[in-house]
C-alpha cells in the first residue's frame, strides 16, 4: 500500500455494543444511528435548524450540541480524515468516500473510499493490545464519534513509521543481542546446559527430568503446565550436521509435542543447515539463543558466568 495521508482522525463506535461492526467491515460502510431524523434534513446540513428542532429530545442543550456536532463531523468528513474502530481485538481504519448519508435495512451509513483495513501499509496486523495506549484508550469512549488528538502517533502506526525513541531502543537491543551471541561462546558446557534449562523454564515450562547425563540423546524433558504436552531438549556446546542428524534418527518422534536441539557453537555446515523437513524438531542456533537470553532477562546471569 502507498503512504496514507490524513490531517484529522476520528473514532467511531459502530452501533450500540458494536452490533454493526461485522456488517460495516464486511460491506465497507460506516454505520450510524440517528434514525429519528430524516435523511433529507441530515443531508441538507442545516445544523442550526436540526439543533433547534431536536434539542428538546435531549436532557440538556450540551448533549444536543454534542450529538449534532458528531453527526455533522461524519456527514461532512472527507478523505483527508481517517476513521478508526475496534473489532475482534483489532484496530480497523478507513477513509470515507462520497459525501452523504445513505440507508439500508440495517442502518444509516456512509460509504468508504476503499475498505476497512486491520493492518498497516506493510500488512502488519494492528492488534489492539500492541498499539499505543494513547490510541487504544478511545475504545472506552461512550458516545458515537470522538476526535483522536494523537494524529501523529496514528499516522506512524498506519504507515509503519517507528518513532525516534523506538528506533534508538531497537538499535540498542539489536547490538545487545549481537554481543550476547559472542558471549555465549565463552560459556563452559555445564554452564551452557544450565542456561538452556533456565531459558525453557523462564518461558513457563516445567522440567520433569534430571538435567543432563540421564539419557544418551536427551538433556532434559519438559512439560507445558496448561496443556500437559511434553518436550525433549538436547543441549550441545558444539555440534556438526552429522551429530544433528544422528539426534534426529534416535529421537522419540510422535511421543513428544516437539524436540529441540540447542547449540551455541555449530560448525559452518550446521549453521547453514535447512531444517524445514523436520516439522517436529527445532534447531536453536546462537542468534536465536542470544535473543532468548535478552527476552527472558538472563543477560545478567550470562555476565556473571563470563566475567
Q: What are the Cα distances from residue 65, in Å, to 34, 38, 59, 62?
A: 14, 18, 11, 5
| pLDDT of amino acid 250 | 80
Full DSSP string of 168-235: HHHHHHHHHHHHHHHHHTTS-HHHHHHHHHHHHHHTT-EE-S-SSSSBTTBSEEEE-TTT--EEEEEE
Taking CA atoms, 215 is separated from 193, 234, 248, 278, 281, in Å, by 14, 10, 15, 22, 18
* 3-state secondary structure (DSSP) of residue 95: coil
Backbone angles phi, psi at 63, to 5 degrees: -65, -40
Q: Report the candidate in 209, 257, 274 with the shortest Cα–Cα distance to residue 235.
A: 209
Contacts of 234 (CB under 8 A, 6+ apart): 217, 218, 219, 247, 259, 260, 261, 262
Positions of CATH 3.40.1350.10 in the chain? 166-306
State which fold the 166-306 domain adopts: Trna Endonuclease; Chain: A, domain 1 (3.40.1350)
Q: Give the pLDDT confidence score for residue 37 in this predicted structure.
A: 82
Sign of CA dihedral 113, 114, 117, 121: negative
Give the separation between CA 162 and CA 175, rounded to whole angstroms.
Answer: 18
Helix (H) or strand (E) segment spanning residue 155: helix 151-158
> The cell 442543550 sits on which residue?
61
Mean pLDDT of successive 10-residue segments in the chain (307 residues)?
Answer: 93 93 96 87 85 73 80 90 96 91 93 95 95 91 90 96 94 97 92 92 85 68 89 90 88 80 91 84 93 95 95
pTM: 0.78
Cα atoms in the 13 Å half-sphere on the side-chain side of 114:
14
pLDDT at 36: 79
Amino acid at each position: 500500500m502507498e503512504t496514507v495521508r490524513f490531517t484529522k482522525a476520528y473514532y467511531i463506535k459502530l452501533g450500540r455494543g458494536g452490533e454493526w461492526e461485522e456488517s460495516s467491515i464486511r460491506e465497507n460502510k460506516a454505520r450510524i444511528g440517528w434514525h429519528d431524523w430524516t435523511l433529507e434534513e441530515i443531508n441538507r446540513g442545516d445544523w442550526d435548524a436540526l439543533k433547534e428542532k431536536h434539542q428538546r429530545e435531549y436532557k440538556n442543550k450540551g448533549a444536543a450540541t454534542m450529538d449534532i456536532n458528531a453527526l455533522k463531523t461524519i456527514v461532512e468528513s472527507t478523505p483527508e480524515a481517517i476513521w478508526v474502530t475496534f473489532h475482534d481485538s483489532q484496530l480497523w481504519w478507513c477513509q470515507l468516500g462520497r459525501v452523504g448519508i445513505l440507508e439500508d435495512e440495517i442502518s444509516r451509513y456512509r460509504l468508504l473510499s476503499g475498505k476497512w483495513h486491520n493492518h498497516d501499509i506493510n500488512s502488519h496486523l494492528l492488534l489492539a493490545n500492541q498499539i499505543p495506549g494513547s490510541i487504544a484508550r478511545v475504545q472506552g469512549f461512550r458516545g458515537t464519534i470522538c476526535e483522536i488528538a494523537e494524529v501523529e502517533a496514528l499516522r506512524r502506526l498506519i504507515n509503519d513509521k517507528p518513532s525516534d525513541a523506538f528506533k534508538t531502543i531497537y538499535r540498542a537491543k539489536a547490538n545487545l543481542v549481537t554481543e550476547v551471541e559472542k558471549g555465549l561462546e565463552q560459556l563452559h558446557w555445564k554452564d551452557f546446559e544450565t542456561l538452556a534449562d533456565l531459558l525453557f523454564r523462564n518461558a513457563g515450562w516445567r522440567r520433569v527430568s534430571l538435567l543432563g547425563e540421564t539419557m544418551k540423546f536427551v538433556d532434559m524433558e519438559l512439560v507445558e503446565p496448561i496443556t500437559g504436552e511434553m518436550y525433549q531438549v538436547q543441549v550441545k556446546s558444539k555440534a556438526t550436521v552429522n551429530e544433528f542428524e544422528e539426534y534426529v534418527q534416535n529421537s522419540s518422534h510422535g511421543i513428544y509435542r516437539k524436540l529441540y536441539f540447542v547449540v551455541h557453537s555449530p560448525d559452518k555446515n550446521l549453521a547453514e543447515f535447512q531444517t524445514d523437513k523436520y516439522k517436529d524438531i527445532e534447531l536453536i542456533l546462537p542468534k536465536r539463543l542470544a535473543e532468548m537470553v535478552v527476552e527472558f532477562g538472563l543477560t545478567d546471569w550470562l555476565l556473571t558466568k563470563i566475567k
